[in-house]
């Protein structure tokens, strides 16, 4: 009877992605969250790509700019009534202007963004879904390189009816995008009788923590031109690039190749951005779509009324982002802190024999735990993941939740935990991995302890000196 009273969407089993191990790990964490005093044996959340490393910089600005955080004009007149009453969905011009400038600054001011080409949305989740509604019909497809952010199964598909066809990338070449992988994915969509409307990429990559090379971006642009399809570039981690190679936005390459208003591709490239990762403000729900396509901008602006950014949020953030001294200092310091925290995780994992994919961006590492699998299968990966969650007490994301084609890879986040919690997590991993190594070597306990101590001591000294050098760069 209850089912008859609800819509098909409410009662169907259509995939929302909530049953993914990515979300299940969160649920287990919420039942038993780690706290250094109140629950020291709880689960440490390392499945959340959240930037908590630079709150103090923003808080310091607020403390020294108290007047700017109030709802007042420069002349002291109250803005409260103006902000509290109805605002249309185009957004506050002052905020869109400084947001465009901030996007350019993050990309080294190599290109200019125009405020009138920005559509504000309630986070990048809303931006990506809005683009799917605007670019594709239910049953049509977008190609997405793997491994990809597990939330895309929800964001791109659940309400829109759009299908995702994976572009399978391999560890043999660092999970880089290739021409052959693009073509194979397109052919797979054809065989499934799916019309391909575009390719969606994350650059920098979530979960890899790598930036796309110009070679990869050129493959993508040429592919889009040949197939007459769209490109959506999700660039929400663009301000986290902390090491070489330098970051290249697809917009930069479009300008470099002079693919301007006279070319069709100019209107088929769309960028998604957000302040959730770079500024660490996911709770503020500030995202955007940037596009040269006037019809898309018009439709997306109308659709944005279903997920607006509050006027109060826009006014407050416009004050912060307008302070160029603050933004320059924040971007520089935040990148340095991300790099240092990442090196702590990489060194800690390497000390127990776990390597990570070489990365230069993001708030996570892509850890290779294939040697820890009981069997080389996704069943083996899930068995290992359950041990890490329930026995070790760490919530990390298995590669299968990111649609990785190779079992044994895991995304491990580092920017949402304190140094102390990260140290605890490394000690837990160490206690978990050592017995597995002893069993694999088949040595008696005395031999293993002696041999391990010698190896561990020398490796620890080497890694410690390496980490010190990296932190000083």
Give dist(CA 316, CA 310) in Å, integer: 10
The alpha carbon dihedral of 194, 199, 202, 206 has a sign of positive
Q: Token pair of 319, please?
A: 């004050």
Cis peptide before 330 (omega within 30 of 0): no
Q: In the chain, what's the furthest Cα-to-Cα distance?
A: 78
Cis peptide before 245 (omega within 30 of 0): yes
User: Catalytic residue numbers?
Assistant: 149, 234, 236, 277
Residue 240 CA neighbour count, 13 Å, CB half = 38
Q: Token pair of 288, please?
A: 């955007």
């Amino acid at each position: 009877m209850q089912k008859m009273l609800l819509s098909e969407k409410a009662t169907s089993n259509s995939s929302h992605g909530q049953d993914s191990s990515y979300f299940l790990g969160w649920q287990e964490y919420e039942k038993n969250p780690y706290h250094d005093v109140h629950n020291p044996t709880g689960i440490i959340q390392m499945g959340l790509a959240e930037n908590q490393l630079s709150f103090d910089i923003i808080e310091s600005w607020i403390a020294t700019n108290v007047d700017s955080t109030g709802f007042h004009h420069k002349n002291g007149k109250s803005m409260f009534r103006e902000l509290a009453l109805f605002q249309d969905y185009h957004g506050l011009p002052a905020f869109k202007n400084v947001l465009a400038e901030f996007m350019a600054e993050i990309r080294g001011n190599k290109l200019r963004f125009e405020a009138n080409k920005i559509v504000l949305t309630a986070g990048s989740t809303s931006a990506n879904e809005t683009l799917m509604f605007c670019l594709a019909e239910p049953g049509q497809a977008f190609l997405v390189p793997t491994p990809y952010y597990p939330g895309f199964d929800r964001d791109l598909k659940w309400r829109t009816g759009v299908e995702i066809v994976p572009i399978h990338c391999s560890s043999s070449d660092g999970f880089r995008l290739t021409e052959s992988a693009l073509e194979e994915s397109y052919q797979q969509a054809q065989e499934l009788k799916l019309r391909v409307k575009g390719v969606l990429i994350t650059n920098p990559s979530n979960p890899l923590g790598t930036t796309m090379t110009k070679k990869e971006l050129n493959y993508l642009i040429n592919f889009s031109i040949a197939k007459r399809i769209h490109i959506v570039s999700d660039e929400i981690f663009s301000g986290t690039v902390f090491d070489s190679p330098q970051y290249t936005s697809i917009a930069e390459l479009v300008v470099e190749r002079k693919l301007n208003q006279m070319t069709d591709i100019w209107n088929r490239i769309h960028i998604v951005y957000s302040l959730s990762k770079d500024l660490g403000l996911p709770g503020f729900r500030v995202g955007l779509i940037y596009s040269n396509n006037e019809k898309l901008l018009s439709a997306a602006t109308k659709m944005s009324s279903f997920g607006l950014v509050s006027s109060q949020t826009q006014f407050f953030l416009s004050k912060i982002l307008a302070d160029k001294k603050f933004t320059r200092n924040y971007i520089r310091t935040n990148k340095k802190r991300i790099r240092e925290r990442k090196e702590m995780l990489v060194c800690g994992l390497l000390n127990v024999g776990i390597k990570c994919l070489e990365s230069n961006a993001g708030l996570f590492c892509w850890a290779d735990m294939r040697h820890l699998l009981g069997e080389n299968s996704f069943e083996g990966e899930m068995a290992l993941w359950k041990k890490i969650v329930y026995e070790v007490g760490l919530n990390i994301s298995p590669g299968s939740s990111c649609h990785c084609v190779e079992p044994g890879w895991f995304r491990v986040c580092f920017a949402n935990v304190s140094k102390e919690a990260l140290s605890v997590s490394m000690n837990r991993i160490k206690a978990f991995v050592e017995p597995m190594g002893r069993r694999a070597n088949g040595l008696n306990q005395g031999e293993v302890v002696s041999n391990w101590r010698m190896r561990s001591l020398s490796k620890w000294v080497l890694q410690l000196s390496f980490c010190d050098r990296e932190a000083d760069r």
